[in-house]
């Protein structure tokens, strides 16, 4: 958005300049879509990954949905709910977007869900995993294309219990996401007959030495440690766990964050052999994921990572949902924007790179496909993923009561 | 307030009762000047939502909310000479009290707002009692520590969603006068009413003998002690009032965004509040509000152009401190002074 447009929007209430520009725009039907993501702050890389995937999805549709030209309006939510609310207000009231999506952080996601609900403008979360987003705070104007913390971890917990793991130690950072992951894992694991014998929540961002926690875990004699750590914390936990020589007796499992591809270099080889759950890996050999990999590599010259796949599903759901809503409404955008979310939630994305995914109609949350992957050393001497199993998606936490 | 000669721009001061006492005369002039600025400002703020688009109405609600916060901060910084880095936590406290009372416990929002104001006053007063015995860097660090403590509590509290926070918090119910606060313009006017009330209270405080003592403390605390004032309860109460205004701002803030999470309590926001005060001018009653307006609007504009807008902020900050003595308000008043003096043919009324 340029300065000039900014000034015109400042006087939109007076309505002089806008009438003139509105007449010029009437020739072509456009739909504005907001890409509101954490482009600055700790999630900047993820936000960029999402944006790349959005642009690929848009290019594949020739920049159009159901006869409407798509105009993307990009805004930075700065990983701050305050900034996110302000930018969402701008997208809705100044840029007049029809729908927006792309957010990363859970706090931002929840803040945006509230704005979307009040302003009756659809919002599609792309990354936020907080259970409350499609639970307590669900809305007919909110959908999510990411999994929920509970569903992912409950599925993983049930998987390991069924594989014969009887006791587990949970380790994770002591904040909302860590607690949600713990609760989810425990739900699935204990329902399937396992027992969490120790819940070790470490102070978030300040812990450097996991020795005491690992010692405590060792003393329980549990069958495995299940973790949720990301970034530099993940690297330290994995390395210290290996240094304690616990890899054989008490393996360290988790979801994609703990053994993220981006951390492999820093882990220096100890990640080889580790097994974790994920909702996407570029080692998938389905037709849809191969096609996505090729298209992505052709456009950007590198293989997509999980965050690209997350962003891609987010964009596809938004674009195809818009297209369906427009077609259902006889070629025009529906007046009632909750119909866009309804159309989006009825999509069956059979050819999604993550696998055939669909939405849960009761809370508009995506029901993901999940894979158990192992990190193996390839012929080129570099680590990569090998899919060893698929597992059914868990259940979202209850609490959604949509009016 | 610093009694610089910029009081002299208004040449029409001729109060009978004040003719013989220069102190009274200066006060009357100051009062008249305050009223002029306040009425012009109020007229602009009332007219604004009829001129600008929806987005800017919500942006100006934000400015007024920050205006309440930074005016409170200025009671400490500008009037009492205390630099606090903990005010975001009082804003957060007010926000959480409203969110918990209105959203989780189901009390009406007006009652929740009163609770926010009272609780933040009490807690800020308590924190004030503990921290105002120190000064300078120690004071700054103690307020920072309290702020971080409240932030940590908010992050750990599970029934408010911890780090994730909570949304769908209702706005005040104005149904009894047939209005819906979910509409941007209605909510703006509600915030404006709160803002005006807050400003009147603050004005009353700084004009009172209590306020004079605060200025005395800023100028020379030892002398105030020597004159027989026990300064510390004055400072603690100033801290409490300032925290109360932050709590009111927080209570309005959750209604503005329908959302609260611990992010609102970060010390960065306390720092931003100080920045607004200094850019606007800490030696002037309305300076901080001007600073808040400048900060929010400049941020909005700059963030369109570059993601690295904070860099420009640093630059603006340095320029303001280096060249605009007394911040934007000081600059504006010197400008007005020069302009009006020329107009009125050098109507100096200095003795």
Contact B53, A9 (CB under 8 A): yes
Interface mutation vs chain B, best among A90, A97, A109, most B CBs within 10 Å: A90
Q: Which residues of A touch B264 (CB under 8 A)?
A: 81-82
Of B62, B161, B259, the CB nearest to A176: B161
Question: B185 CB near a chain A CB, below 8 Å?
Answer: no
Q: Mind telling me how many Å the CA of A105 is from chain B's nearest CA?
A: 9
Quick one: A199 exposed, middle or buried, by C-beta within 10 A (0-12, 13-18, 19+)? middle
How many Å apart are CA B220 and CA B209, to the nearest integer?
16
Quick one: A14 exposed, middle or buried, by C-beta within 10 A (0-12, 13-18, 19+)? middle
Whose CA is closest to B138, among B85, B93, B92?
A: B85
How many Å apart are CA B252 and CA B94, to the nearest integer?
9
DSSP A384-400: EEEEEEEE---PPPS--
Q: Which residues of B touch A93 (CB under 8 A)?
A: 53-55, 58, 184
Whose CA is closest to A56, among A280, A307, A316, A281?
A: A316
Q: Which residues contact A156 (CB under 8 A, 6 or more apart)?
A: A185, A188, A226, A253, A255, A277, A370, A391, A394
Q: Is residue A201 located within the same domain as residue A226?
A: yes
DSSP state of B131: H
Could you tell me how far CA B313 lies from the centroid of its own chain? 20
Could you tell me how far CA B1 lies from the centroid of its own chain? 16
Question: B36 CB near a chain A CB, below 8 Å?
Answer: no
Of B53, B158, B264, the CB nearest to A12: B53
In a domain? residue A141: yes
ipTM: 0.80
End-to-end CA distance of chain A: 36
In a domain? residue A316: yes
Query: In which band, very low, low, confident or very high, does the pLDDT at A106 lie, cut at 50, 70 and 90?
Result: confident
pLDDT for position B307:
72
Could you tell me how far CA A100 lies from the centroid of its own chain? 15
Higher pLDDT, A336 or A19: A336
Could you tell me how far CA A5 lies from the centroid of its own chain? 32
How many Å apart are CA B204 and CA B132, to the nearest integer?
22
How many Å apart are CA B349 and CA B175, to the nearest integer?
52
Mean pLDDT of the region A316-340:
94
In a domain? residue A19: no
How many Å apart are CA B262 and CA B244, to the nearest integer?
19
Q: Is residue A109 located within the same domain as residue A190?
A: no
- Sign of the C-alpha dihedral, residues B157, B161, B164, B169? negative
Domain hosting residue A316, numbered range? 28-147+288-367
Q: Is residue A142 located within the same domain as residue A196?
A: no
pLDDT for position B28:
83
Angle, CA A324 vertex, CA A125 and CA A366 arms, to 5°: 30
What is the Cβ-side half-sphere exposure of residue B227, based on CA atoms within 13 angstroms? 10
In a domain? residue A196: yes
In a domain? residue A323: yes
Q: Which residues of B touch A11 (CB under 8 A)?
A: 51-53
- Report CB contact under 8 Å: B58, A9: no
CA distances to A164, B53, B55 from B300, in Å = 56, 15, 11
Contact A161, A398 (CB under 8 A): no
What is the Cβ-side half-sphere exposure of residue A243, based on CA atoms within 13 angstroms? 13
How many Å apart are CA B119 and CA B244, to the nearest integer?
8
Report the C-alpha dihedral over residues B136, B137, B143, B148, rounded to 10 degrees: 170
Q: Domain total for chain A?
A: 2
Q: Are strands A370-377 and A167-173 parallel, antiparallel or unpaired?
A: unpaired
pLDDT for position A403:
60
Whose CA is closest to A342, among A357, A327, A326, A321?
A: A321
pLDDT for position B193:
97
Q: Mind telling me how many Å the CA of B153 is from chain A's nearest CA?
A: 11
How many Å apart are CA B76 and CA A377, to the nearest integer?
62
CA distances to B133, B139, B148, B217, B247 from B145, in Å = 15, 10, 5, 24, 18
Q: Is the pLDDT of residue A2 over 80?
A: no
Angle, CA A293 vertex, CA A289 and CA A294 arms, to 5°: 120
DSSP state of A143: E
pLDDT for position B46:
96
Q: Are strands A64-65 and A68-76 parallel, antiparallel or unpaired?
A: antiparallel
Contact A37, A51 (CB under 8 A): yes
Mean pLDDT of the region A345-374:
91
What part of A 171-190 touches B (C-beta under 8 Å)? 174-177, 179
Could you tell me how far CA A343 lies from the centroid of its own chain? 20
Contact A65, A319 (CB under 8 A): yes
Q: Is residue A253 located within the same domain as residue A377?
A: yes
Query: In which band, very low, low, confident or very high, does the pLDDT at A22 lie, cut at 50, 70 and 90?
Result: very low
Q: Are strands A99-101 and A68-76 parallel, antiparallel or unpaired?
A: unpaired
Question: B126 CB near a chain A CB, below 8 Å?
Answer: no
Helix H or strand E segment including A183: helix A176-191
Q: Are strands A123-125 and A99-101 parallel, antiparallel or unpaired?
A: parallel
How many Å apart are CA B289 and CA B45, to the nearest integer?
12
Q: Helix, strand or coil for residue B9?
A: helix
Q: Mind telling me how many Å the CA of A168 is from chain B's nearest CA?
A: 24
Q: Is residue A39 located within the same domain as residue A137?
A: yes
Query: In which band, very low, low, confident or very high, does the pLDDT at A101 lie, cut at 50, 70 and 90?
Result: very high
Residue-wise pLDDT for A56-75, tens only, equals 999 999 999 999 999 999 99
Q: Helix, strand or coil for residue B260?
A: strand
Of A14, A94, A175, the CB nearest to B163: A175
- Sign of the C-alpha dihedral, residues B296, B302, B303, B304? positive
Question: A9 CB near a chain B CB, below 8 Å?
Answer: yes
Q: Which residues contact B209 (CB under 8 A, 6 or more apart)?
A: none
Q: What share of chain B is helix, strand, coil (3-state, %, to 5)?
A: 75, 0, 25
DSSP B141-187: HHHHHHHHHHHHHHHH-TTTTTTT-B--PPPP--GGGT--TTSHHHH
Higher pLDDT, A401 or B14: A401
Q: Is residue A323 located within the same domain as residue A262?
A: no
Contact A68, A333 (CB under 8 A): yes
Please report the number of interchain residue pairs, chain A to chain B, with beta-carbon separation below 8 angstroms: 117
pLDDT for position B348:
43
Residue-wise pLDDT for A226-269, tens only, equals 999 988 889 999 999 999 999 889 999 999 999 988 899 999 88
Q: Is residue A239 located within the same domain as residue A380?
A: yes
In a domain? residue A347: yes
What is the Cβ-side half-sphere exposure of residue A261, based on CA atoms within 13 angstroms? 18
A87: domain CATH number is: 3.40.50.2300
In a domain? residue A106: yes
In a domain? residue A350: yes
Give me the tens of pLDDT residue by residue for chain B, a chain 351 residues long: 444 444 444 444 444 444 556 667 777 888 888 899 999 999 999 999 999 988 999 999 999 999 999 999 999 999 999 999 999 999 999 999 999 999 999 999 999 999 999 999 999 999 999 999 888 899 999 999 999 999 999 988 889 988 889 999 999 999 899 999 999 999 999 999 999 999 999 999 999 999 999 999 999 999 999 999 999 999 999 999 999 999 999 999 999 999 999 999 999 999 999 999 999 998 889 999 999 999 999 888 888 777 777 788 888 888 888 888 788 888 888 888 787 776 554 444 443
- Report CB contact under 8 Å: B257, A130: no
How many Å apart are CA A84 and CA A274, to the nearest integer?
37
Q: Mind telling me how many Å the CA of B50 is from chain A's nearest CA?
A: 7
Question: B165 CB near a chain A CB, below 8 Å?
Answer: yes
Mean pLDDT of the region A286-303:
93
How many Å apart are CA A191 and CA B238, to the nearest integer?
56
Question: A284 CB near a chain B CB, below 8 Å?
Answer: no
Question: A150 CB near a chain B CB, below 8 Å?
Answer: no
Q: Is residue A122 located within the same domain as residue A52?
A: yes
Please list, residue by residue across A301-319, b when 16 or more beta carbons sit within 10 angstroms of its beta carbon and e when fewer do: eeebbbbbbbbbbbbbbbb
Global confidence as pTM: 0.84
Q: Is residue A166 located within the same domain as residue A231?
A: yes
Contact A127, A157 (CB under 8 A): no
Q: Which of A155-169, A195-209, A214-228, B317-331 has the lowest mean pLDDT?
A: B317-331
Return the percentage of chain A with pLDDT > 70, whole number.
93
Question: A313 CB near a chain B CB, below 8 Å?
Answer: no
Quick one: B40 exposed, middle or buried, by C-beta within 10 A (0-12, 13-18, 19+)? exposed
What is the Cβ-side half-sphere exposure of residue A185, based on CA atoms within 13 angstroms? 27
Q: Is residue A256 located within the same domain as residue A238?
A: yes
Question: A1 CB near a chain B CB, below 8 Å?
Answer: yes
Q: Is residue A265 located within the same domain as residue A344?
A: no
Q: Is residue A193 located within the same domain as residue A238?
A: yes
């Amino acid at each position: 958005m340029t300065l000039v447009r900014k000034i015109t929007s400042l006087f939109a209430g007076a309505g002089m300049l806008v009438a003139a520009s509105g007449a010029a725009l009437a020739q072509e039907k456009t739909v504005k879509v907001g890409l509101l993501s954490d482009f600055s702050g700790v999630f900047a890389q993820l936000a960029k990954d999402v944006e790349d995937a959005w642009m690929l999805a848009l290019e594949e549709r020739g920049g159009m949905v159901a006869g409407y030209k798509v105009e993307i309006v990009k805004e930075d939510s700065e990983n701050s709910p305050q900034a996110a609310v302000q930018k969402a207000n701008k997208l809705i009231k100044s840029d007049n977007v029809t729908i927006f999506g792309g957010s990363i952080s859970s706090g931002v996601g929840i803040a945006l869900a509230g704005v979307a609900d009040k302003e009756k403008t659809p919002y599609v979360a792309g990354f936020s995993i907080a259970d409350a987003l499609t639970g307590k705070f669900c809305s007919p104007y909110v959908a999510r294309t990411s999994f929920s913390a509970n569903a992912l971890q409950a599925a993983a917990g049930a998987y390991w219990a069924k594989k014969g793991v009887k006791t587990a130690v949970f380790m994770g950072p002591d904040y909302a996401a860590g607690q949600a992951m713990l609760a989810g894992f425990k739900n699935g694991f204990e329902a399937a007959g396992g027992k969490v014998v120790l819940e070790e929540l470490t102070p978030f961002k300040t812990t450097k030495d996991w020795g005491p926690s690992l010692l405590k875990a060792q003393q329980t004699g549990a069958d495995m440690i299940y973790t949720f750590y990301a970034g530099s914390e993940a690297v330290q936990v994995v390395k210290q766990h290996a240094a304690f020589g616990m890899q054989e007796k008490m393996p360290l499992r988790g979801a994609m964050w703990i053994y993220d591809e981006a951390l492999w270099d820093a882990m220096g080889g100890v990640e080889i052999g580790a097994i974790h759950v994920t909702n996407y890996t570029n080692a998938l050999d389905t037709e849809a994921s191969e096609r996505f990999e090729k298209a992505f590599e052709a456009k950007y010259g590198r293989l997509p990572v999980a965050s690209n796949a997350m962003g891609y599903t987010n964009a596809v759901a938004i674009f195809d949902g818009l297209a369906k809503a427009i077609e259902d409404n006889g070629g025009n955008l529906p007046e009632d924007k909750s119909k866009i979310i309804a159309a989006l939630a009825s999509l069956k994305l059979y050819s999604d790179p993550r696998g055939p995914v669909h939405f849960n109609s009761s809370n508009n949350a995506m029901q993901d496909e999940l894979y158990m992957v192992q990190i193996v050393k390839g012929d080129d001497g570099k680590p990569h993923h090998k899919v060893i199993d698929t597992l059914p998606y868990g259940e979202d936490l209850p609490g959604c009561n949509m009016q | 307030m610093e009694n610089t000669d910029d009081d002299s721009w208004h040449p029409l001061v001729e109060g009978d009762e004040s003719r013989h006492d220069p102190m009274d005369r200066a006060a009357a002039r100051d009062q008249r000047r305050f009223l002029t600025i306040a009425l012009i400002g109020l007229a602009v703020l009332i007219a604004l939502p009829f001129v600008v688009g929806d987005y800017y109405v919500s942006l100006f609600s934000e400015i007024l909310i920050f205006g309440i916060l930074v005016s409170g901060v200025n009671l400490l910084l500008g009037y009492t000479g205390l630099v606090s880095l903990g005010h975001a936590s009082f804003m957060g406290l007010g926000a959480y009290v409203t969110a918990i009372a209105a959203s989780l416990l189901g009390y009406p929002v007006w009652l929740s707002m009163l609770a926010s104001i009272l609780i933040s006053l009490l807690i800020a007063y308590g924190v004030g009692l503990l921290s105002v015995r120190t000064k300078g860097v120690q004071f700054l660090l103690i307020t920072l520590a309290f702020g971080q403590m409240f932030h940590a509590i908010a992050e750990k509290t599970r029934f408010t969603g911890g780090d994730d926070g909570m949304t769908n918090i209702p706005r005040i119910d104005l149904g009894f006068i047939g209005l819906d606060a979910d509409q941007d313009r209605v909510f703006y006017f509600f915030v404006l009413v709160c803002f005006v009330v807050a400003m009147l209270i603050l004005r009353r405080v700084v004009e009172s003998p209590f306020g004079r003592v605060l200025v005395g403390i800023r100028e020379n605390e030892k002398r105030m002690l020597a004159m027989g004032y026990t300064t510390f309860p004055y400072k603690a109460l100033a801290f409490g009032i300032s925290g109360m205004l932050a709590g009111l701002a927080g209570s309005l803030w959750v209604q503005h965004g329908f959302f609260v999470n611990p992010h609102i309590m970060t010390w960065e926001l306390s720092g931003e509040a100080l920045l607004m005060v200094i850019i606007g001018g800490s030696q002037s009653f309305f300076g901080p509000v001007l600073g808040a307006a400048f900060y929010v609007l400049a941020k909005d504009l700059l963030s369109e152009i570059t993601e690295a807008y904070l860099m420009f902020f640093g630059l603006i900050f340095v320029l303001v401190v280096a060249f605009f003595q007394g911040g934007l308000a000081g600059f504006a008043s010197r400008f007005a002074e020069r302009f009006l003096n020329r107009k009125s043919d050098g109507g100096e009324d200095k003795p």
